């Protein structure tokens, strides 16, 4: 049974939860001199020199390495495909959906991009301006896979458009071969 999808507009905590004591131990063992550690019982701070993202709590500041590739303008969100969690770039506005993965050659540590709408739609997708082949997975409002297609970049004018026969609310777009065909329901952890 698939639980209903609940989806925050923008993720307030976009990075994975890490126990600060576990992280500190691993950081000290694995990184040695690459980390500067300040120990204070009132407010310990852990920093590394190479991690681009920051997550703060009342007692600890962590820098977590996460490569956003060329998707720095998109909000990260975590999705669940059959019990496997994936980080994707979120495209939930008309402008973000129109841009999508056009002219993007590096998605970094993201699995791909998740296109979302407030309700089910019937819309077409094309590959104009893309630089890599993409796999597209279309999901209903209940999270069921209703269509999937693999498309290659297009330089023709106009480019062919793929429009699923069934309305959808979510589209997961990944670099071709980046993800095993997900037959499992799509859920967005709250």
89 and 55 in a common domain: no
105 and 53 in a common domain: no
Residue 99 counted as domain residue: yes
Residue 69 counted as domain residue: no
146 and 165 in a common domain: yes
pLDDT band at 18, cuts 50/70/90? very low
For the chain, give the secondary structure using H, E and C: CCCCCCCCCCCCCCCCCCCHHHHHHHHHHHHHHHEEEECCCCCCEEEECCCCEEEECCCCEEEECCCCCCCCCCEEEEEEECCEEEEEEEECCHHHHHHCCCCCCCCCCCCEEEEEEEEEECCCECCECCCCCEEEEEECCCCCEEEEEEECCECCCCCCCECCCCCEEEEEEEECCCCCCCCCCEECCC
135 and 59 in a common domain: no
Residue 9 counted as domain residue: no
59 and 127 in a common domain: no
Does pLDDT of 44 surpass 60? no
Residue 90 counted as domain residue: yes
Query: pLDDT digits over 172-190, tens only?
Result: 999 999 887 677 788 876 6
29 and 107 in a common domain: no
In this prediction, residue 190 carries a pLDDT of 62
In this prediction, residue 87 carries a pLDDT of 93
Mean pLDDT value of segment 142-169: 93
């Amino acid at each position: 049974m698939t639980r209903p999808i609940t989806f925050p507009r923008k993720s307030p905590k976009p990075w994975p939860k890490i126990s600060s004591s576990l992280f500190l131990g691993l950081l000290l063992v694995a990184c040695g001199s690459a980390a500067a550690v300040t120990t204070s019982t009132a407010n310990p701070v852990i920093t590394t020199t190479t991690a681009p993202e920051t997550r703060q709590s009342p007692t600890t500041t962590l820098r977590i390495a996460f490569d956003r590739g060329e998707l720095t303008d998109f909000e990260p969100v975590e999705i669940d495909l059959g019990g496997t969690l994936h980080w994707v770039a979120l495209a939930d506005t008309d402008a973000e959906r129109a841009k999508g993965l056009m002219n993007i050659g590096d998605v970094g540590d993201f699995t791909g991009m998740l296109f979302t709408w407030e309700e089910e739609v019937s819309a077409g997708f094309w590959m104009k301006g893309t630089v890599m082949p993409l796999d597209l997975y279309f999901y209903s409002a209940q999270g069921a896979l209703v269509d999937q297609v693999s498309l290659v970049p297009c330089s023709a004018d106009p480019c062919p458009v793929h429009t699923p026969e069934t309305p959808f609310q979510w589209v997961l777009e990944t670099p071709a071969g980046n993800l095993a065909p997900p037959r499992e329901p799509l859920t967005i952890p709250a």
